Structure 1
Amino acid sequence: MQVFTEDGELISQFGEKRRIPLKLTEMPPLLVQAFLAVEDTRFYEHPGIDIIGIFRAATVVAQSGDFSQGASTITQQLARNFFLSREKKLIRKIKEIFLAFHIEQLLSKDQILELYLNKIELGQRSFGVGAAAQVYFGKTVHELSVDEIAIIAGLPKAPSALNPIRSASNARARRNIVLGRMLDTGVIDKAAYDAAIAAPITSKLHGAQITASAPYIAEMVRQDMVNRFGEETAYSAGLKVYTTVNSQQQAAAKQALQQNLYDYDERHGYRGPVAQLWPATLQQSADNEPVFVEDNPLPREDILAYLDKQSGIEDLIPAVVIQVAAQSAELIIAGGQQISLEWDGLKWARRFINDERQAVAPKTAFNIVAPGMHVLVRQQQQQWRLSQVPQASSAIVAIDPNNGAIRSLVGGYSFSQSQFNRATQAKRQVGSNIKPFIYSAALEHGYTLASIMNDAPIHQWDDNAGIAWRPKNSPAVYDGPIRIREALAKSKNVVSVRLLRGVGIDNSIRHLQRFGFAASDLPRNETLSLGSASLTPLELVTGYAVFANGGYLVTPYVIDKVLSDEGEVIFEHNPAIACQQCEQTPSEAEQSNNEDSEAQLDQLFSQLAADSSSQAEPDAISEPQQRLAEQVISEQNSFLIADALKSSVWGGGSWQHGTGWNGTAWRVQSLKRRDISAKTGTTNDSKDTWFSGFTPDLAVTVWVGFDDANRSLGRAQWHANMGQQQSAGTESGARTALPAWLSYLQAVSSSVPERQATPPVGLASVRIDLQTGLLSRKTDHTSSFEYFKPGTEPSQYASADIQQISFDSTAEKKPADQDKEEEVELF
């Protein structure tokens, strides 16, 4: 089974047998001729059996009783490989002959040869010449040299014993026999023969030629295929699985996540070398200069031998320090290359004390590294940099909000380090990322984005706990009366608590369940308003997609289609789509058809597994009807929340008049896009940090924290060496998770064109007073347009407007309703 991105890049392959099926015309003629020369020179002349070969083998058996003398044609070998065992018995040979005659009647010579070259076992779990070329040499069949072709052509005789990975000497001897046959039959000339005979055996085991790094996606696909169709079919049917993942967006997600973890790690200090291979003491030289005195340093050969046994992880490379200067160091990396670590790649490495504290900034390289240290380095912007394996974890997931297709997903720093997929398996407290859903519930219960709430401290006595509950804003700044739009953009905790109280806990939980959140993950107390709910990043981004697509709950999926080994489409996902112009829910008939399609698919794969030996082609699956996602909130509600979250990016007020303010996601302004809605999230003690944001065509969530849920991300102190190139302070959603989200969006922005959401039918745009949320006739910095659902817009004017009217004797008196109608723009 091979797993691909949507654009055809190989993610991974699974199974007991490796195959790369090729047409006969796709194989180089020299490769085909090599097999014919050594296995069946009269292949195109005989009717399936070689009478001369049979008599020769029979003579040997009669004289010695030895059945090892082969006489099987390529057709006979094909018959044996498909239908018989390898036991050397006369009855098996007789069956083989009759089957060979029958195959020759059914198939042409070219078809037989093509099947043989694709199915023949060639060792190391490779079946067919395409797989063997990749496994032994990491090449395609067209890249093989003459000696490599001869090695592969010699394998059918005894693939386990003669393959070059198992025994180079056996492979060389067999290769030379094949080359001799190729010379005798005129396939190659004497010069080519001599060159190939002299070539060394350089084969080594090569894995799949992975062209897109998405191991967490690959494992999701593997589990899905095995659960759906069973191990035998999933691993042995030669299936090709195409995912919804885009290779470029996936690469951007991995880069963004890893670089963000490196940045966090560097903010919190250097934890020291992997090992110290020999002692080195820092002393003062005769010139009063610092110098390391080394005790029995290892010679270069021993250092290289040591490094050969070490393994890096991701882009971190093992290295040994051999020399240190004031602001640089010389190292040897695995493979023998000597590199220089300049000061820009070292100066970050102040000593780690704990998650809250770091030592003073180093002044020289002597304070950081010493000869004999085994360290890890990586390249960043063509410069070597001292590094270390990050201890913090992270996840990033991006989906298409219109159908749930997963475009990118990275479940941790390194799949080789931990196969735990934090994007789909880690339920963590979501902090303020829950607030848009609380505010959505408020809009369903009579509140508007212009409603005024009191942003003031809350003190509530808890009889059960015997203490007062005092939820606080972070930072602990209180603005007094504040509009809901501004409170959401600034992430005001106490306003969220008051809204939950106004709506009611039960009503709020029922509303949050509409977004796909399980009731068991939603605590039934007021901490829900501050983000005590525990969700996975994939669950959370699915909820945010509802705001992006007009109110529809889509189901995330990663498998787009599955092809058989013959290239036939045997499954194609039919996602439920968010469609504002379609019926809101699928009919019962459509749901029944979908269930029938699933049952038909299961039956198809069962048949495929049972009949794989007969190469039966599956019946075509009729194209399923389009499925429609369920609309869980109104289009007006989703638009209002999405628009309010744009204020989290762009803020409001007038900086010129001293009333300007920023939202918590203001750093997203650097993308210079007006179609992005976003929200930060931070839990108590910064144990979990989040950033979620979306456009009409892409929803993305990033989580950063430790796998140990009790460990805080802490605080980074000011670093004198870094100047403005740092992010000091307490870790938070804006400081810790947002940079990865921003880096990802910067990389993929060109593939996701800016698209403004259109206000849905029925919303009204009304000019309001920014201080009171009431109607306003002013057109200066004190007023702005706000969106309202029909019938929820304010009916009174702000007192300042009323006073202006009463003192303006020339103002034309109009009925209040007439004024209101003229101030409302309907969509």
Structure 2
Amino acid sequence: MYLYYKDELPSVAELREVRLQTPMQVYSSDGEMIAQFGEIRRIPFALEDVPQSLVDGFLATEDQRFYEHVGIDPIGVARAFFQLIVTGEIQGGGSTITQQLARNFYLSFEQTWTRKIKEAFIALHIESQLEKNEILELYLNKITFGHRAHGIGAAAQVYYGKELSELTLAEMAMIAGLPKAPSTMNPISNPERARERRAVVLGRMLAEDKITEQQYQTALAEPIRTRVHSAEVTMNAPYLAEMVRAEMVARYGEDFAYNSGLKVYTTASAKQQRAAQRAVQANLHGYDERHGYRGVEAQLWRPAKEQNPLPEAEVLAHLQDFKAVGLTRAAAVLAVDSEAQQATLLFADGEQGQLDWSQVAWARPLINRERQGQAPESIVDVFTAGAVIRVRATDNGWRLAQVPEPSAAMVALRPNDGGIAAAVGGYSFTLSQYNRAVQAERQVGSNIKPFIYSAALDNGFTLATLVNDAPINQWNPGSGIAWRPRNSPDVYEGPIRVRQALAKSKNVVSVRLLRAMGVNTVVDYLTRFGFDYDELPRNESLSLGSASMTPLEVARGYAVFANGGYLIEPYFIERIVDNQQQVIFQARPKVACVACEPADREVLEAPQVITEQNAFLVTQAMQSAVWGGGSWAHKTGWNGTAWRIQRSDPITNHVGRNIAGKTGTTNDVKDTWFSGFVSGLVATGWVGFDNLENALGSTTMNSNLDSSEQPISGTEAGAKTALPMWIDFMETAVEDVESKPFDVPPGLVSARIDLATGKLSRASDYTTRFEYFIPGTAPTEYVDKSSSPTVFGDDDSIF
């Protein structure tokens, strides 16, 4: 019989090289688990780390003579043969632990003589090659326990959310009883059968003197408390996790990536990732609230029609159809107290809660994205009893909510090496797996301007150069129409310095700068920042941001200014560790400053694409976008488009004035952006609709809200829609970022200039300031109030 089946049996080498399928786990840079991938859940344990009571439970129930037989138990075989004679069928049972191991590794579970014979021969093979403890360890880590849990470590996690050492005797007995019928005797699928099977295991342990009578009675009386526990994911970062999953499959293939027990450590900080997720979601809820309430999700009964409330069981059944999305949970309104201005809520899990008027008062009716209805006067103006609504948890209790209509993305990079510190691709991964942070190519609007200005500074312009901020009317004889780019808002100041023009985001100045250099020159220059040459428009609309880019591409471009002129390569996998704790991959990023890295870290030098001086000058102009200029005391003060950052004490207390950034808004307000940085972190945020036809609209003041609650009103824009999200993120993120000033690099000179003309000045009052220049570009002429300043763009025909 052996000779007949010999060629079908596994080799001895296979027995020695058994590889337990273990899922891939993804971690943040500081060790918090982000995700686990792989069909099989397994947490391998060495035998010496398994509690003795758990081992005793398995041996007493599955194979009490394990340490005595040679792989086949004659007594068990005799019992199985007797069952065959009595019933006429092959019954389960009679298999030793070694035979069960053989079946799990190499055979099917069909009840046939052929399989039983092969199982016996493989068991003898295993016993001849492995020690008993090795066999038992493989068995405990291999067998199936239901709910995709393989091995005792996974079983403890899935059913109880515990480590093996934390299990009670009753829980160990429950796990030890599962191999007999893991799908039908587990405590989740069939608690009563599981209880009966647990009693059998405890009884066997008592009969074998492995536990006392007191332990037996206590464990027998312990109630069944269990549910499916997921892997110990401690940080929610599904978009980043999916980026890792896709990259790992591309590198190693699905089988090795999912089943080899790899641990992938990302570059993302748990703290910053959480801050980005919170900022994206809170900002979208802010947008949705100021644009108005779209109404209840459903109406289960109508008190106005004297309908009776549904029984609670029916309400709970209806709520099962409304899944949690992002921060929102569905709830049924059981009752509304119009005098107390309060509603009683019921959630799908049976929990009840209260919703106060203060958390409902925002809910003006949505008319369209440009108009909102009258503010409600009472809670019953918003909903009645019987309504199904959505709420979200806040520090002040439950708040009326709805799933936001627009989308958003946020990505943050370490500017020195390109490591992704945080990445959020949308409001809810459950709602949409589309990762807008790295996939959505959207028009960048004025976010393009720092790169245009960088090109201008490389082509003879300075921060003090005056450019004409005046309307442009250019006739196109081919189309028969005039191109009239406009500022937003539609305000013009005449001659304006380049620093101020960037800080105030003057559209017509950007157009004039591009005209002065030529479209081809600018397109070639922009490729230095990593932008795709073929994707850049070959017309003057480029100066206003008609190019489409992903938030990650934009952030990478801004990192060039933040790190002194070097083009880094974004990456998100820092290292990969195999199941033997050996590092099989370690990132070697291209860095802007090699000397800044630890001596034991292998890095490459990033290419320098613009000069350190150019990067500093553009950063200076973007600082003015935050801090403005002039003298408020003398009524010459002005704000840049990012002035709201000034109000953020958490940011300014950490980094002072060392913040630079730029807003971005496209035509018809379909895309809004903010990109900005401190010395150690650059971040880009985008808000818009996935449907390119939808504009973000505008809002009016809400009469129900006081000044502390009043949302931003007016037309949505980068400064109003995307910047608040960036501020929210940075208020947390900067806590762990080394703050350094934007030091003046060598090779620059400074000179006091007249603010009105950009020429040299001998005065030292509010009409002047020190400005930085590349040697040879500083003005040489002193201001003369009797003469007109030189202004680029006075004659459009020149440009």
TM-score (norm 1): 0.86
Structure 1 gap ranges (5+): 282-292, 584-622, 804-827
Superposition pairs for residues 46-445 of structure 1, below 5 Å? 46=69, 48-50=71-73, 52-54=75-77, 57=80, 67-68=90-91, 70-86=93-109, 100=123, 103=126, 107-281=130-304, 294-321=306-333, 322-326=335-339, 328-334=341-347, 335-445=349-459
1:355-394 deviation per Cα after TM superposition (whole angstroms, max 9, x unaligned) = 0100111222222121211111122113221111111111
Shift of 1:24: 3.1
Question: Contact 2:419–2:570 (CA<8 Å) still a contact in 1?
Answer: yes
Distance 1:9 1:105 in 2: 43
Structure 2 gap ranges (5+): 1-23, 789-799
The alpha-carbon distance between structure 1 residues 63 and 370, as it changes in their structure 2 partners (threshold 3 A), is closer
Range that drifts further, 87-96 or 28-37: 87-96
The alpha-carbon distance between structure 1 residues 266 and 219, as it changes in their structure 2 partners (threshold 3 A), is same
Distance 1:498 1:398 in 2: 32
Shift of 1:90: 6.1
**Residue matched to 1:791:** 776
**2:724 aligned to which of 726, 739, 748:** 739
**Residue matched to 2:686:** 703
Distance 1:343 1:138 in 2: 39
1:233-265 deviation per Cα after TM superposition (whole angstroms, max 9, x unaligned) = 122222221111111111111111111111111
Distance 2:786 2:774 in 1: 23
Distance 1:802 1:687 in 2: 44
Shift of 1:176: 2.2
**Residue matched to 1:646:** 623
**2:613 aligned to which of 636, 659, 663:** 636
Distance 1:801 1:460 in 2: 32
Distance 2:602 2:355 in 1: 60
- Does residue 729 (structure 1) correspond to residue 714 (structure 2)? The answer is yes
Task: State the AA in 2 paired with 1:627.
Answer: L
- Does residue 459 (structure 1) correspond to residue 464 (structure 2)? The answer is no
Task: State the AA in 1 paired with 2:779.
Answer: P
TM-score (norm 2): 0.89
Shift of 1:717: 0.7
The alpha-carbon distance between structure 1 residues 19 and 767, as it changes in their structure 2 partners (threshold 3 A), is same
**Residue matched to 1:609:** none
Distance 1:580 1:11 in 2: 30
SS at match of 2:178: coil
User: What is the aligned residue count?
Assistant: 753
C-alpha root-mean-square deviation of aligned residues, in Å?
2.5
**Residue matched to 2:636:** 659
Distance 1:236 1:120 in 2: 15
Shift of 1:350: 0.9
**Residue matched to 1:597:** none
1:565-605 deviation per Cα after TM superposition (whole angstroms, max 9, x unaligned) = 2222112222111127699xxxxxxxxxxxxxxxxxxxxxx
Shift of 1:172: 3.1
Distance 2:306 2:547 in 1: 55
Task: State the AA in 1 paired with 2:346.
Answer: I
Question: Contact 1:777–1:801 (CA<8 Å) still a contact in 2?
Answer: no
SS at match of 2:782: coil
Distance 2:456 2:157 in 1: 59
Superposition pairs for residues 771-790 of structure 1, below 5 Å? 771-790=756-775
SS at match of 2:529: coil
Shift of 1:754: 1.7
Distance 1:580 1:784 in 2: 35
Question: Contact 1:317–1:333 (CA<8 Å) still a contact in 2?
Answer: no
State the percentage of identical aligned residues: 55
Task: State the AA in 1 paired with 2:474.
Answer: Q
**Residue matched to 2:21:** none
SS at match of 1:156: helix
Distance 2:199 2:595 in 1: 70
Superposition pairs for residues 715-726 of structure 1, below 5 Å? 715-724=698-707, 725-726=709-710
Distance 2:787 2:697 in 1: 51
Range that drifts further, 201-210 or 126-135: 201-210
Distance 2:358 2:243 in 1: 40
Distance 1:625 1:508 in 2: 35
Distance 1:379 1:712 in 2: 29
Question: Contact 2:594–2:605 (CA<8 Å) still a contact in 1?
Answer: no
The alpha-carbon distance between structure 1 residues 98 and 432, as it changes in their structure 2 partners (threshold 3 A), is same
Shift of 1:232: 1.4
Question: Contact 2:445–2:544 (CA<8 Å) still a contact in 1?
Answer: yes
Distance 1:365 1:166 in 2: 43
Task: State the AA in 1 paired with 2:210.
Answer: V
**1:506 aligned to which of 515, 520, 524:** 520
Distance 1:339 1:124 in 2: 33
Question: Contact 2:628–2:643 (CA<8 Å) still a contact in 1?
Answer: yes
Range that drifts further, 192-201 or 787-796: 192-201
Distance 1:87 1:305 in 2: 40
SS at match of 1:377: strand
**1:449 aligned to which of 453, 463, 469:** 463
